[in-house]
Amino acid sequence: MKTCDQWQVNDDKELRPSHSPSRRSSAFTLIEMLVVITILGILAGLAVPALKNIGKSDSSIGASRQLLDDVGRARQKAINNHTTVYMVFVSTNFWLPPYTVTSTWTNNFNSQQLSLIANLVDKQLSGYTFVSQGAVGDQPGRHLWNYLEPWQSLPSGTFISAQKFAGTNYINPLGVSGPAYGISQFHYTNNIPFPTATNININTAIWLPYIAFNYLGQLTIDGVNLYPYHEYIPLAQGNVNYGVDPATKSAQLTVVNPGDVTETPAANSTGSSYNIIDIDPLTGRATLLFQKLP
């Protein structure tokens, strides 16, 4: 028979033993710890590539958003100023033939203009600005050229696909046909002064790639003739490598070869994972067409 001090009364007025049977203390064994570490290693191996892709995706989304906004700004500037606005881009090797009449055309420029040209070297395939021919208030027959903003570029690690500049038209991955051959190259003109609005000389004219909007905000070729097809601008992830002065680390006018333009991963501007700016010819409004691998 148990004495009274061997029992306790709980909150429910039930009797229970004052000394419970001893329980074996729990702890991880060495094997269990190794299993957990192995699982964590596997998860880390799967997560690291995904995290890298998140960074790339962010830069691609940022470039798409920026270009969408700036295409819209070019259109709005054309409407507000009641004129034609050209969105001009920077091709690779823009200071050499066939973009220029001769390879010595820069001999005609002063030091300030040469500095402006050199500053565009690191913007090859990624740089652009807005130029208008005429504005509200211009005298009749005197439509002056105006650079509306400084040159700017897409986020680092992104650029416009080199095919858009090259003159080699290609079928786009959407299966959508503008012209019969798919996505066409940029228009080119040598009527826009470069590198400043006051420098225009037919003997030193440079061919600049562009898209243009008329005073109604529609796509146009020259301010008069409408461009009847959708304008597709494919964006790429990767790098455009250019010459750098080893002493000053500044960009140099050195030739960019095909191998210097690298899409990472390969052909991402036209493959199953792409970002394409689509501009409607009649409204001039831009939308983003995109597809990402799951």
Instruction: Specify the pLDDT at position 22.
Output: 52
Helix, strand or coil for residue 262? strand
In sequence order, the β-bridge partners of residue 291 are 274
Instruction: Specify the pLDDT at position 138.
Output: 63
Q: Quick one: what percent of the chain has pLDDT higher than 70?
A: 73
Residue matched to tokens 């091709």: 91
Residue 37: band (very low, low, confident or very high) from pLDDT cuts 50, 70, 90: confident
Tell me what the mean pLDDT of segment 163-167 comes to. 81
Residue 264 has pLDDT above 70, yes or no: yes
Q: C-alpha distances in angstroms, 133 versus 65, 82, 101, 136, 143?
A: 27, 10, 23, 10, 6
Instruction: Specify the pLDDT at position 29.
Output: 82
| All domains in the chain, ordered by first residue | 30-291 (3.55.40.10)
Instruction: Specify the pLDDT at position 291.
Output: 66
More confident of the two residues 142 and 286: 286
Residue 54 has pLDDT above 50, yes or no: no
Q: Which two tokens stand for residue 106?
A: 């820069």
Q: Which two tokens stand for residue 11?
A: 């909150």
Residue 111 has pLDDT above 80, yes or no: yes
Alpha carbons 253 and 243: distance in angstroms, whole number = 7
Alpha carbons 225 and 133: distance in angstroms, whole number = 15
Residue 268: band (very low, low, confident or very high) from pLDDT cuts 50, 70, 90: confident
Mean model confidence pLDDT for the chain: 80
Instruction: Specify the pLDDT at position 176.
Output: 47
Instruction: Specify the pLDDT at position 69.
Output: 96
More confident of the two residues 225 and 184: 225
148 and 87 in contact (C-beta within 8 Å)?
no
More confident of the two residues 121 and 40: 121
Tell me what the mean pLDDT of segment 215-242 comes to. 92
Reduced DSSP (H G I as helix, E B as strand, rest coil) percent helix, strand, coil of the chain, to 5: 25, 25, 50
60-87 burial, b at 16+ Cβ within 10 Å, e below that, comes to bbebbebbbebbbebbebbbebebbbbb
158 and 100 in contact (C-beta within 8 Å)?
no
